[in-house]
Structure formats: C-alpha cells, structure tokens
Structure 1
Amino acid sequence: MKRIITLAATLCATMYVNAHDMVPAPAQSQDILITNATVHSPSIGVMNNTDILIQQGKITAVGQALKADNANIIDGTNKQVYPGVIALDTSLGLVEVEMMRPSNDVYEVGESNPQIVAVSAYNPDSEIIPTVRVNGITHAQVVPQGDLLAGQSSLVSLDSWTIEDALVPSTQGFHLYWPSIRRLSQDKDQRKKQLDEYQQQLQQIQQVFADGQRYFVANKEEQTSKIDLRWQALKPLYQGQAQLFVHANKQLQIEEAVALAKQYQFKLVIVGGYDSWRMADILNEVNASVVYTRTFSLPMRHDEPLEMSFKIPALLAEADIPFALGFSSDWNSRNLPYAAGQAAAYGLTKQQALSAITLDAAKILGVKDMGDIAAGYRGNLVIVQGDLLDPMTNKVEQVFIDGRKIDLNNRHQQLYQKYLKR
C-alpha cells in the first residue's frame, strides 16, 4: 500500500510539472474583422491596407473596406498579419525534459513499429507548447523517432484540451529512419563490419516492406489466417492513401529510398534532405517532396562553404523540388520562423520562405485549408509588430487558431516577470 501511495504521489507531481496553466480558447462565437493591415499571403504576396473577415473559424473574405455587423474589430494599422506557422518533424508534446526518461515518449523499442501512432502519447498540457506558439507557430506535425520504421505522425493544433481536440485531419504518414554510416573506419576489419551491418539493415527494410506487401495482397484476397497489427497498419501505404517519410540526408540514402518508393509505388517525402537538391531528376520522377530540417546546422562535409546549409532551400527551389522547412526538435522548434528568415537571406524570396513554413508545409501534409490567408482557409493568423521571420523585430501580439484568440502567456514570460522583481 505504501508503494502504491508513493507511486500515485509521484505521478501526480509529474503531471503537475508537465502541465501549463493556460486555458484553451473557446470556439469562435463572434465575427472578427481585422482592418487596414499589411497581409502576407504565401500565394499572392504582400497586400497593403487589407481587411480580413473571420467567421465560425474560417476566413470568409480578404479585401478592402470589408463590413461585418457586430464584429470584433481589430485595428491592423502598422501591423503585419501572417498565416499560422506549421512546424514539421517535431516531438512537441512527446518530450518535456529531454534528460528525464519518464517525460520522454518519442521513441519505442523495436525496428518495425508501423502500428505506433506517436500522437497517442501527446501531452496537450506540455509547458513547452505555449513557449513555441508565442513565435507564431499554431500547428505541429508530431513525429515518432526510432531505428528503422518508427511509426506514424499526426498534425495537431497547439491549443487544445485533449488529444482528440488537437488532431487535424491530414494524410497518414509513416516514418522510416534510413540507416547510414557516419564515417567509414580506416581499419580494414572495422570497415568491413560497418558495411556488413549497413547491408543487414537494408535487408531488414526490404524484408519489412516485402512482408507488408504479402500481407496486403493476402488480406485483399481474404486469405489471411490472422490479423497482424503491424501489417494491418501499413495497408494505406500500399493503397496509395498514405505517405512514407524517409529520414535521410546523404545522396546514397536518398537514392536507395527512391528505389524503394519506385518498387512499391509509395508516395515519398524525404526528411532532412541535405543532398536532395543534387538529385532533382530522380526525386521529381517519383513526385517526391522534401522537408528540409538543417537550415541552422553546420555543413556535412569539410570542403563545403560554411553557409552551405543556409543555401540549400534556395537550391531546392531552383531545382523545382517541392519542399518545406522543418525543425527536428521539441522546444527548439520555436526557431522555425527564423530558419525561414535565414533561408530568405541566402537566396529564397521572402514569399517563398514564408510559404515553406505555412502553405507548402500544409500541402506536404495533404491539408488544403491551412497555410494561407484567403477565403475558405482556416482562421489561423498571427498579428505581428515587425517581421515574423526576423528575431530582432518579431513581436507577436495576437495568435488565432480557427478564429480562437490564443493565450500567449507562457512559462518563459512568467519566469522573466518573476525575476524582474528580485
């Protein structure tokens, strides 16, 4: 009994530590009219002195001199309005303190876990979430991590009471972490061992998808003797209703991933994608997209220029490869808008950079009503004093998710105010 009481107390303490006290906003009940703002649309560009009307969670009109009876009017004079940012490849809500194993639910044991849905461990009360959305991030792709086939990702809203509230319908995505050899050993025996292990991992991948295909065909013909949850979960991938997100950076990895996608006619998305700009022909041949996540990373090779990682988004655009920017992290994903700004400083236009974290991100996830400011799109907006993509001038004043005004208070601001009083 004493152990049970101690365990219960520990769980309660953990829940308290991992829960923020910002109350999720209620559903929009009054029309919102933003007037005379500078509107940044990824599809159209910058529109000056523009009004935006939001009704029942949707943008219903964008233009000048809009009218709405009994609307909550927000004066957008000298303000910038952007679509809500979508953070791809994050572990938001899965990790609270990285060094504390009990608060880290991003990884599952085993090398073949297609049935694992990462969002089932998502914590909508995570203290990290409010510190991320204060930078204009309204939605995140919650992604599992693992050795090979790690599981499925989901798109969530960053203001919700429960997991069910948070979920946003999107194309189902399976995540495969492609093996790699970081550096070949100079020792002959050790090098042979590295290459053998690499080949074994490739064979494991082939075996997983061959088993999945056999199960799919047998199930289709009603010839399965029992239900296997792993291969049952993979069925949408073989039906062309899901995407395979392959985490890979090097050219050889990407070539092998494309070969796998060709073999099974998978819809392919490369995550990481450091060398993807070099391979436009084969990526475009299979209509693959790229989620580039290394904007703030050092170059992967010693003989590359220091700014190489910053230039790759522009090289992807030049190669006509559909891409978006991601940030493979939990708390650090708040820097995604600044990664887009860095890409804009090294070759992307401001409009392309904004689209890479909004509209293009939504397209990769198969979501058609997010990422832009236009009639019919969700009311996900960020009102900023300054430039959303510039860490020196970015001052987010208001954030709306589906027309709901979000509380921008967070743990960082609370601690800042606390220690101002010392």
Structure 2
Amino acid sequence: MNNGHTKTGSHFPGKVRGTLAFALVVLSTFTVPTQAHDILPASAQTSAILFKNATIHTAVDGVKADSDLLIENGKIMAIGKALAAPEAAIYDASGRHIYPGLIALDTSLGLVEVEMMRPSNDSREVGEINPQLEALTAFNPDSEIIPTVRVNGITHAQIVPQGDSLAGQSALVSLDSWTVEDAIVQTKAAFHLYWPRLKSLSSETKKREEQRKEYRQQVAKVTEAFTDGYRYYLAHKSGAKTKLDMRWQSMLPLFRGEAQLFVHASTQKQIEEAAALAKHYQFKLVIVGGYDAWRLADLLNEIDAKVIYTRTLSLPMRKDEPIEMSFKIPALLNQAQIPFALGFSSDWNSRNLPLAAGQTVAYGLSKEEALKSVTLDAAKILGVEDMGAIAVGYKANLIISGGDILDPMVTKIEKVYIDGRDVDLNNRQQQLYQKYLKR
C-alpha cells in the first residue's frame, strides 16, 4: 500500500509535526528531476485592471454581455457597463469571455508526479485508519503537472489522500505559488473515508459468502474506528482523557461539527451505510463518487448531504445501464435537488474538468448550471464563501477566453488570474512543442 513516502503530521504551527516520513517527502521533491518546473509564480497585483466590453459569466448572477469588470488588490471591485477607473490599466476584452477560475475537486495534483515511480507518488500511506495524516504536507507546488492543468483554466485544486479506509485530510490549494504556505486556501477540515466496496459476487455459493463476510468485517473496522474516536471525544470533552492518541485527537473537530466527512462511495448500499454513519454522529457529509446518489434524494436531503460526482466521462457502472448513464447523473442530481459539484479524480487528467462539465450540458444541465458545478458549487461544498463566482468582494480568480470554456474546440484561453495575479500559462508541454518545431 505504501507508495514511497508518508504524510504523517504537519509542518505548520499548532498541528501534529512530521517525523522521518515527512523528511522523505522533502527529499524526494529535490531528488526526482521531473518534479520541479521553471515557471515563476506571478507577482502580487500592484495596480487595478479594468476589463472592458467582455461577456462575463458570473456563475451567480447570469451572463452579462458587453460589460466591464474592475479588479484591485486581488479582489473584484465592480461589475457593470461603462465603468470608469482612471488609475486602472485597461484590458480590451471585446469579443472575449470572462469566467471564474475553475476548482478541481478530488485530485492528487502535487502528490503524484509519475505514477509508476514510487519516490514521486505520495498519494497514500500504509495502514487503514489514518485520520491524522494531511495531504498538504506532501504537496509539491513545483510539480511539472500543475502548469499543464491550470492552462485549461483550473486555478485551484482540492488535494486528497487516497487509501482503503480512513485515509486522512484534504486541502484546497492555489495552483500558482512559491511554497505550500502560499498555496493554502483556508477551509473547514475535511476528512476522507473510502467506504468498503463489495465487488461483483461470485457464482459459487461458498465464495460469495466469503466475499460478504469480508465486506462485513471491513465495515466493522470502520464502525469500530469511529466508535473509538467518539469515546476519545467524550473523554476529552469531560476532561477525563489521560493518554494522547493523535488519530482520535485529529478527529475532534469532526465530532464537534467543525469539519466535514467526505465519504468515497458510489453504490446505493455504500451511500446508505455512509449516510447512516453520518446521521448517527451528526457529521456534515459529502459523498464523493456518488453514482447512485440521485436514487437516494430523500435520505441525503434529510441530513443535508452534498455530492461530488466524479464519473462524468466514465462508462456505466453496470452492464444493463444505458451507455449515457454516467453523463446524465449530474442532471438527475439537479432534478433531485441534491447540492452537488463535479470532480475529476486524477492528477494530470484533471485538466479535463471543463470537458466533463461541458458533457453534462449535452445531457440535461444548462450551461450556467454546468459552470456552477465546477466553480461556485465546488467552493460552497468546501465551505469557501469568496471564490467560484464573479461578484463584488470575491477573489479575482478569472479566466479570459476567446470562446466557450466548456467546449475544448473553441476555448482559446488567453489569460488566467489567481487573486488578481497574471499567471504565466507556459508549461512543459508547450516548451517541448516549441523545441521540436525547431528540429
């Protein structure tokens, strides 16, 4: 299960500190030559910028044609027609589209460089019950993959630990930063549980019973872990705790209602069992995967659960389902009034997030709903209130495009701004393309 290093603890004040394992993460960052790009992070915004005559896709207040947008100090200051800002630099955006920066959910960006190279793959850890582990401690802001993803308009990513049970905590990061500390976007703590999966049952009775027994044992381990964590919480709350256990100590915000539990589950059975666990402890639940979530609208809406749907470009899960089933599920979630966002569970392949959102438009979502699913709704699921939309007071995370960002054939992204900073869109792929043009 171990892919080369560990993510134990954190190097930030007031949190669990790493040991030799984190040193291995740092060491691998500097010893694997493919892990550091040479593109400088953008400088902080020093002067206001006024975008003129653009089509602005706000993700919160519709589409505004032939409108102006003013940003200053990394924030959106004004939206309207014929805006005036004498001190601002003018950007003529006639014929251009301005979108909010896209937020990629459920990724391993910065955790994986080359999947088959153990020293450059730090997406998971040994063991099954590791709530204290933080993906952020292994994040590499110099990853060569990051510039190849943000060129498609992705400005932020949720980096998520992988595992077989309680895998650790995720974080939201900016995709243009010098250091891990620069990259962090503050969110609520987010714990990730990979619910056990009952694989296709064997036709042999004995083998089938063994599979079911193994599944029940795996679920029992999950239940036992949360029972132990809850007992620790009660002891801590009453002042009776005598022994420090970093696993359960890290879970205190979850039991206090200050964190969210992200459960990776796709089938109806998995989702029902995850919802029962969340309801028992009154956790704030987010289902990741969520293939069958639309079938359980009453259950999920009863506990205010949310869904990150990750299979938009996948084949159906079952052989007897229509070929377009995976494409239709976002529209079914929308019809069921389940709050959801789109994710793309990958590292380099998360660049296809806008394509996945565009696919949903052909199968029931409106363009505005599809855009929200990878911007505003994604931010809301993570508990961020000033990202994912073009509105006054929001962070100036912007995409300037010559065409529809949800259609890769016409997108033509020209500029990406993160917190008002003009990000360099160069990347290794473009460098290699230019190199071999000269051969």
Q: Secondary structure of the equivalent of 2:187?
A: strand
Which one of 227, 231, 245 corresponds to residue 244 of structure 2?
227
Percent of aligned positions that are identical = 65
1:3 alignment counterpart = none
Structure 1 CA distance for aligned equivalents of residues 42 and 301 of structure 2: 42
Q: Deviations over 1:148-193 (max 9, x none)?
A: 0000000000000000000001111000000112200111221111
Question: In the alignment, residue 391 of structure 2 is paired with which amino acid?
Answer: A
Q: Secondary structure of the equivalent of 1:51?
A: strand
Question: Is 1:387 aligned to 2:404, yes or no?
Answer: yes
Q: Deviations over 1:250-274 (max 9, x none)?
A: 0000000000011000000000000
Question: In the alignment, residue 392 of structure 1 is paired with which amino acid?
Answer: M
Q: Secondary structure of the equivalent of 1:34?
A: strand
2:101 alignment counterpart = 84
How far apart are 1:396 and its partner, in Å?
A: 0.7
Question: In the alignment, residue 335 of structure 2 is paired with which amino acid?
Answer: E
1:179 alignment counterpart = 196
Which one of 54, 74, 81 corresponds to residue 64 of structure 1?
81
Q: Secondary structure of the equivalent of 2:435?
A: helix
Normalized against structure 1, the TM-score is what? 0.97
Structure 1 CA distance for aligned equivalents of residues 28 and 373 of structure 2: 40
Tell me, which stretches of 5 or more residues in structure 2 are unaligned? 1-23
How far apart are 1:42 and its partner, in Å?
A: 1.1
Counterpart mapping for 1:151-166 below 5 A: 151-166=168-183
Structure 1 CA distance for aligned equivalents of residues 75 and 428 of structure 2: 30
How far apart are 1:94 and its partner, in Å?
A: 0.1
How far apart are 1:195 and its partner, in Å?
A: 0.7
On the 8 A contact 2:131/2:251 being kept in 1, the answer is yes
Structure 2 CA distance for aligned equivalents of residues 190 and 110 of structure 1: 26
On the 8 A contact 2:29/2:140 being kept in 1, the answer is no
2:20 alignment counterpart = none
Q: Deviations over 1:275-308 (max 9, x none)?
A: 0011100000000000000000000011111011
How far apart are 1:13 and its partner, in Å?
A: 6.7
On the 8 A contact 2:290/2:307 being kept in 1, the answer is yes
What is the RMSD computed on CA atoms of the aligned residues?
1.2
How far apart are 1:355 and its partner, in Å?
A: 0.1
Question: In the alignment, residue 379 of structure 2 is paired with which amino acid?
Answer: A
Question: Is 1:188 aligned to 2:219, yes or no?
Answer: no
Structure 1 CA distance for aligned equivalents of residues 269 and 414 of structure 2: 45
Counterpart mapping for 1:250-265 below 5 A: 250-265=267-282
Counterpart mapping for 1:8-19 below 5 A: 14-19=31-36
How far apart are 1:381 and its partner, in Å?
A: 0.2
1:29 alignment counterpart = 46
Question: Is 1:398 aligned to 2:415, yes or no?
Answer: yes
On the 8 A contact 2:29/2:35 being kept in 1, the answer is no
Greater displacement, 183-192 / 232-241:
183-192
Structure 1 CA distance for aligned equivalents of residues 438 and 398 of structure 2: 33
Question: In the alignment, residue 39 of structure 2 is paired with which amino acid?
Answer: M
Question: In the alignment, residue 138 of structure 2 is paired with which amino acid?
Answer: A
1:418 alignment counterpart = 435
Tell me, which stretches of 5 or more residues in structure 1 are unaligned? 1-6
Q: What is the aligned residue count? A: 414
2:381 alignment counterpart = 364
Q: Secondary structure of the equivalent of 1:35?
A: strand
How far apart are 1:57 and its partner, in Å?
A: 0.5
